[in-house]
Amino acid sequence: MSQSLPVPTTPARSRLMSSVRQTGTTPELLIQEMLRFLGFRFEVKAKDLPGTPDIVNHSSKWAIFVHGCFWHAHNCSLSRIPKTNPEFWKQKFSDNQKRDKKKLRALRKRGYSVLTLWQCQLEDGETTRNSILRFLPENNNHSGNGHLAHIVEPQPKATNAGPETYKYGTRLRRISRSVITTNGTAFLTKFQVPNGVSLHQGARAIFDQTFLRSKHEMSHGLLRGAVRVVDLFSGCGGLSLGAREASTAVGRRFESLLAVDQDASSLQVYEANFNPKLTHDSDICNLLTASVGEKLQPCEKELVKKLGTVDLQLAGPPCQGHSDLNNHTRRRDKRNKLYEKVARLAEITGPEHILVENVPTVIHAWGRALEKTVQQLIMLGYRVDVGIVDLAELGVPQRRKRHVLIASHSRSISIEDVVEKHRVETKRSVRWAIADLRAKRLNGTFDVPSKLTEQNVRRINHLLRHQLYDLPNRQRPICHHGEHSYKSMYGRLRYNELAQTITSGFGSPGQGRFIHPTQSRTLTPHEAARLQFFPDAFDFSSVTLRTALANMIGNAVPMKLSYVFTLEFLT
């Protein structure tokens, strides 16, 4: 059995730091001696790797850089710009930081986990030791005397996804995510993996499954600086949830400045989870009263004053007006013009980055709302890209495609490139998302399925009894007895496949393939929320009406969408 790493007593730590200083004056020698004391094996000056890491373990694929604060422009008291020829030094330090970031990315591409230790940190031996132990247990399994211990658990493959590295540590049964931040350091977030999460999958899949099932927040270091966010047409907060997780991943706080939505129940859930500074629960046209290019109106001036600096603007304009399922308006819906309010808010608040999602058919919207918004954002100085994203490729366990618009003042970002960076190796199934909820029964609305008519119960039992996934026409309503294209309606989900697109009708067999794979019922709101990538830690407790709960879950945006794009904005 694996034992704990040696933890020296305080006097022993003092002797360690004293003896290390006697071996030499360089920071590299100090860290080497500390690693030997803790029982870790390593090599030094790995010239075969990008950037020649100071300390490396090739077999476990980890590397450590020990940086001087002056030359690498660390944000501390040891870093300063010389008064002589300051422009030269500014450029030199900037080049050094770019070079550092480039070599970190190159190492990550080779599958290495990287830790950067700074000169200023080394004066505090306890802090340095804790930094090393937080970094290395996910990469090593030691016995008390520093030798490798016998490993009895599966060894999930470490996963690189864009700027992220995911690793599973068997000794502490902990899953970690490491992201290289803008200053070139790695920020680590961790979860304790609960029982029931499969270890026979990649490390990223373990992290995501733990994220969904955990009722507790992940552990991480101190968050420095804020990402200030506004969310238009916020719903209950799917986009904000992804942006918050991306902010945490890079070591920054998520600060909700404004949430706008006409649905009071959804906005109440948003407030419970994100504590926004301001909310607006009526028509957005009452908040943004003018169009792009027009003079600021009094209410807009007041809004700008209250918001201050905005880093990220999120928006999910109402999609019903663009939907092919809307038989009433056929895309000629006045709600389509609400899309253009995205550009107006961008004009008056000047966010650094913008993310807007909608249904793919928004490109056909009446009044060319999408085209006008893109043109307006370009006129405002933004670099814009648009495209369709299949969320199953990002790990969402359902068939769901969304139209995405991204805009940035400072960066040119390709939607296609971001999806390619974060594409999962294996798409997640219904079983992966909800199998652990099969036996869960509570009295609350969240965990209880809809009450079905006797006729629908007979239909579901027919599917289960005959091991069918599509209901025969003779068992359907009379209007389905002939030729029709509604095959998925009254259908049963397959455990080992993606779910159908989750809509607000997930509680009704007649509105889609929403029948549970093995039980005589439809999906519960809890199961639908999981398929929409809402974690168990997300608070829906303020909602008591089933219809309100179904609408906010079905209309939400899986957080994986905003997570990957916000991460791209911030790294």
At residue 124, the 3 state secondary structure works out as: coil
Structure tokens at 1: 């059995």
Cα 149 from chain centroid?
A: 34
- Residue 484's pLDDT is 67
pLDDT of residue 537: 96
Task: Check residue 435 and give its pLDDT.
Answer: 93
Q: Give me the pLDDT at residue 5, please.
A: 36
For residue 141, the model assigns a pLDDT of 38
In this model, does residue 119 exceed pLDDT 90? no
**pLDDT, tens digit (0-9, with 9 covering 90-100), for 423-446:** 999 999 999 999 999 877 766 899
Asked if the model's pLDDT at residue 177 lies above 80, the reply is yes
Does residue 89 carry a pLDDT above 90? Answer: no
Start-to-end CA span in the chain (Å):
39
User: Sign (positive/negative) of CA torsion 518, 523, 524, 528?
Assistant: positive
pLDDT of 538 strictly over 60: yes
Choose the weakest-confidence range: 6-15, 188-197, 430-439, 514-523: 6-15
- The 10s digit of each residue's pLDDT in 300-337 is 999 999 999 999 999 999 865 444 444 444 445 455 57
Strand partners of residue 192: 174
Q: How far is CA 510 from the centre of its chain?
A: 33
Nearest alpha carbon to residue 263 among 552, 504, 557: 552
List, in sequence order, every residue forming a beta bridge with 178; answer none if it has no partner. 165, 188
Least confident residue range of 265-279, 429-443, 550-564: 429-443
- Residues assigned a catalytic role: 319
Which range has the top average pLDDT, 1-5, 35-39, 407-411? 407-411
pLDDT at 67: 86
136 or 379, higher pLDDT? 379
At residue 387, what is the residue type? G
183, pLDDT greater than 70: yes
Spacing of C-alpha 138 from chain mean position: 21
Question: Rounded distance, CA 564 to CA 570, Å?
Answer: 10
Task: Report whether pLDDT(43) > 90.
Answer: no
The span from the CA of 279 to the CA of 232, in Å, is 10
Most confident of 15-29, 138-152, 534-548: 534-548
Contact 450, 507 (CB under 8 A): yes
More confidently predicted of 402 and 134: 402
Average pLDDT, the chain: 85
Q: Is the pLDDT at 149 greater than 60, yes or no?
A: no
The whole-angstrom separation of Cα 317 and Cα 375 is 17
- What pLDDT sits at residue 120? 80
Measure the CA–CA gap between 97 and 90, rounded to whole angstroms: 11
Q: How confident is the model at residue 81 (pLDDT cuts 50, 70, 90)?
A: confident
- Record the tokens describing residue 468, joined without a space: 């069918």
Per-residue tokens: 420: 């390619």
**pLDDT interval class at 124 (50, 70, 90):** low
338 vs 344: CA distance, rounded Å = 10
Checking if the pLDDT of 148 tops 70, the result is no
Q: Which of 9-13, 211-215, 284-288, 481-485 has the lowest mean pLDDT?
A: 9-13
The three-class DSSP label of residue 63 is strand
Sign of the Cα pseudo-torsion (87, 89, 94, 95, in order): positive
| Full 3-state SS string of 434-475 | HHHHCCCCCCCHHHCCCCCCHHHHHHHHHHHHCCCCCCCHHH
